[in-house]
Structure 1
Amino acid sequence: MRIGSLLAAVVLPVLLTTPALALEVSKSATVAAKPADLWAEIGDFCAIGDWHPAVAECEETRENGETVRTLTLEGGGTIRERLVEATDTGYSYEILESPLPVRNYRSTLSVSGEADGTRIDWKGSFVAHDASDADAAGIIEGIYQAGLDSIAKGAGN
């Protein structure tokens, strides 16, 4: 029995401190617009307030030398996100504070394509928090899909 106790004393703490595996969600859409033109419409970090139906307002600030946006949601609540990286065709961000059932959330929104066909990719990784993996992934997928549908509907307008 001493071996069993020793094994439990060693293995149990490792299992309890091992971080949950990150979930990944990815959605994409293709629209009839030039990539540079579409990115000019949607690519500003706070432009999400113009095209995502769940966002009532976006306020961008500088905090400790970093760009942070605060999203006021249509149904109430706020999400604070930090810009991690930006290019001419995409940006990555992290959630700082949110009512969403996720932790360690990092996401990228980007465009690619040629001439009059643009693919928009929105992907993220996170750990479910206070929700099942399936429920957390479903919520993030719904957020991405609603945003992509709105972009596709308004592209070039």
Structure 2
Amino acid sequence: MANASAHIEIPASADKVWQLIGGFDALPDWLPYIPQSELSEGGRVRTLANPNGEAIVERLLSFDEEGRSYSYAILSAPFPVTGYRSTLRVLEAGNHARVEWSGQFTPAGVSDDEAVRLFRGIYQDGLKALAASFSPVK
């Protein structure tokens, strides 16, 4: 099993950041790679569309409002991995928020390094986009 992770510091309170990203259906609100999300199964499954129109189907595994985190699994996606599990977490870090995104998966048809680079890139790009939501307008 391979692991990837990324984190970023955001100049806002953890509660304010969680307010934006804490909904399981909130990815289109902050992640440009995901322009569309639709919930099913009582909000426990989300079907995402990427810019190419490919579907990514994910199941919510755990949700902790007080701890500002949720974990999910990919049920189907155009990624070269199986057994994908991920956690998105927002922590209070002094006068700012620390957002952590991590995942575990088994590469399928690619090396561990290739799969780790893919997801680390997705996490880093996503967190940069999230931070831009909190940047002052220039």
TM-score between the two structures when normalised by the length of structure 2: 0.91
Q: Which residue pairs with 1:70 in the alignment?
A: 47
Q: Distance in 1 between matches of 2:92 and 2:9?
A: 9
The question of 1:141 aligning with 2:117 is answered no
Q: Given residue 103 of structure 1, which amino acid in structure 2 is its aligned partner? A: T
- The match for 1:84 among 55, 61, 67 is 61
Q: Given residue 97 of structure 2, which amino acid in structure 1 is its aligned partner? A: T
Q: Is the 8 A contact 1:43 1:90 kept in 2?
A: yes
Shift of 1:76: 2.5
Identity of aligned residues (%): 37
Larger RCO (alpha carbons 8 Å, 6+ apart): 2
Q: Which residue pairs with 1:58 in the alignment?
A: 37
Deviations 1:18-61 (A, max 9, x none): xxxx1011100000111111101111001111111111201111
Deviations 1:54-110 (A, max 9, x none): 112011111xx6700001001221100000000120100000001101100000000
Q: For structure 1, which runs of at least 5 residues remain unmatched after alignment?
A: 1-21
- The match for 1:132 among 106, 111, 117 is 111
The question of 1:33 aligning with 2:33 is answered no
How many corresponding residue pairs?
134
Q: Distance in 2 between matches of 1:76 and 1:61?
A: 18
Larger Rg: 1
Q: For structure 2, which runs of at least 5 residues remain unmatched after alignment?
A: none
The question of 1:150 aligning with 2:129 is answered yes
Q: Which residue pairs with 1:121 in the alignment?
A: 100
TM-score between the two structures when normalised by the length of structure 1: 0.81
SS of the equivalent of 1:124 reads strand
SS of the equivalent of 1:152 reads helix
Say if 1:49 and 1:116 are closer, same or farther in 2 by CA, change over 3 A.
Answer: same
Shift of 1:114: 4.3
Q: Is the 8 A contact 2:20 2:29 kept in 1?
A: no
Q: Distance in 2 between matches of 1:48 and 1:151?
A: 10
